[in-house]
Amino acid sequence: ELKGIILKMPQWMKESRERFKKLQRSIIQNTVDQNFEELERGYQSLPEVAAYLEQVKQDVIDNVDAFRSDENTNLPDNLKSAVKAFPVYAVNVLVDNGEVAGAPVIYEDNPSLVNLIGRVEHESQFGALTTNFTLIKAGAMHRANGGYLLLDAIKVLTQPFAWETLKRALKSQELRIESIDQMLSLVSTKSLEPEPISLDLKVILMGDRLTYYLLQAYDPDFRLLFKIPADLSEDIDRTEDNCHSYARLIAALQQKDEIRPLDRGAVARVIEAGSRRLEDAEKLPLHLDGLRNLLYESDFFAAEDGQECIQRRHVQQAIDASLRRFDQYKERVHESILREIQLVDTEGETVAQINGLSVYQLGDHAFGRPSRITARARLGHGRVMDIERAVKMGGNIHSKGVMILSSFMASRFARDKPLPVSASLVFEQSYGGVEGDSASIAELCALISAIADVPIRQSLAVTGSVNQHGQVQAIGGVNQKIEGFFDICKARGLSGDQGVVIPASNVQHLMLEQRVVDAVAEGQFRIYAVETIDEALSLLTGVEAGDVDEAGNYPPDSVNGRVVSRIDQWIKLGKSFSAQAEGDKPRDGDDEQHH
């Protein structure tokens, strides 16, 4: 009997332990249920949170020994210490938008892969890297979930894997935290793989037009994911209302940046500088970078002057200082002209020679430079040679302009007869490429001067393009071109006869510096606006261009009449040469007799 009892004891002890565990679990269950009851009731509307709390409750019951305290171990009194003692029950709050009113709007300045989708960090413990769920960090897409994410297109495209990851997340509407090491299979270390999060957000890409059209052309996913383009204007009309709005914008920037207030004259000068930046007297820019920099520099000069507010002269000092910092190359170019290293005349009259105007663009800084353009014409076969193009120094647009003026010459002076002219055009002392058609008027006037043998006033410079009908068309950089020739004339002494001929359609773009405006007002410098090539010819030569009469003839003393007369002379001369050449040929009879 004793042996039988001894054999049953292990079974009885096992059953006793199980019954004791059941009793203990029942008591613990009642205790834990009381603590969790209110918590679960508060999250009934969130099934995922309720399921998590149920798992926490079961884990507490299964590991109740960890919560027991004896004489040697005491549980922490405060909650933070308790959480540290039991890190498995900690909560890692990735995003907290509790204080956000409305949908979150996030701008990510550095849209790298980890900054967009988050990351899993690691800690070093005893020489080994470890991690846990509390080291999961949110990315910009987590913070913007349910709202709007603003990204710079160029920055996203230049970050490795960022663009493809962004598209994949938007297409799947899920956000997965991945590392570059895992994506490239560079490491085999076991790490956390957080569950994907459902994604519901609007991504706004910001960039220039070229980037948009390149993505639309070469990325098939782009037009599917980004369906609503918005091309924002970079300027507004310079109306009275918009000027008041622009003044309020200046005041807002002044208050935000904590600089001195501006008086009326300073505000007016800032508005003028904005129109000057656009090279349009009827527009105002919307870019704030240049405006903010101008306000900062104006504030500096006001401080140097000991003034409580920024005045017009302080804004002008800031503008002059910004130009002076980039003026070295301009000074060298103008110095070479004034020292007659580069030949540009500003007085007298010369046949087939004219002052053209070009613009040098150095980043955001531009300045004008006069250039001598010359032409040569002789008896030939109706060909106008562009020397710049012939030596591959002329661009396509410049060559197009020369072809247009050739077409104009043929149409006006040789519509029903041959044009026996061979001519050449060149920018003298040009050692770089020539591009643009803004010298078309100057080249055409020089060519006509060469044919008609009519001198051109060197006190005038010309800019503008021309079409096949002789109409003068607008060009760019008109302010810098005028100022460039004015500076040369002023350095040599203003005579009152000097000036610039520009297209009439460019008058609305005039935003000249005050020194030029003052000289024009005093009659020391002149600006002529022309609509046709004939108006330009009359100004440059001092001779009437001449209008065609009902018989289709030009007045003989006019510029056009002289051109027609010279062409007729060349036609007769060409016929005489042809007849002489025919006479020099051996006749058939002569050939036989000689033979």
543: helix, strand or coil:
coil
Cα–Cα dist 140/144, whole Å: 6
User: How many other β-carbons are positioned within 10 Å of the β-carbon of residue 511?
Assistant: 20
Q: Where are the alpha helices (DSSP H) in 344-439?
A: 387-390, 396-413
Apex 227 CA angle, 221 and 228, nearest 5: 145
CB 118 within 8 A of CB 138: yes
> In 3D, which of 294, 248, 260 has the Cα closest to residue 274?
294
Chain center to CA of 242: 24
User: How many other β-carbons are positioned within 10 Å of the β-carbon of residue 269?
Assistant: 23
User: How many other β-carbons are positioned within 10 Å of the β-carbon of residue 363?
Assistant: 6
Apex 587 CA angle, 584 and 591, nearest 5: 110
Tokens of 234: 């970079």
Kindly list the distances between the CA atom of residue 364 and the CA atoms of 286, 340, 373, 433, 489, in Å, as whole numbers in the listed order: 16, 29, 27, 20, 25
Among all residues, which ones are annotated catalytic?
A: 438, 481
CB 95 within 8 A of CB 138: yes
Cα–Cα dist 336/78, whole Å: 82
Tokens of 80: 């933070």
CB 367 within 8 A of CB 334: no
End-to-end CA distance of the chain: 159
Element (H, E) at 372: strand 365-379
Place of tokens 């060298």: 332
Phi, psi angle pair for 459, to nearest 5°:
-80, -5
Cα–Cα dist 157/164, whole Å: 9
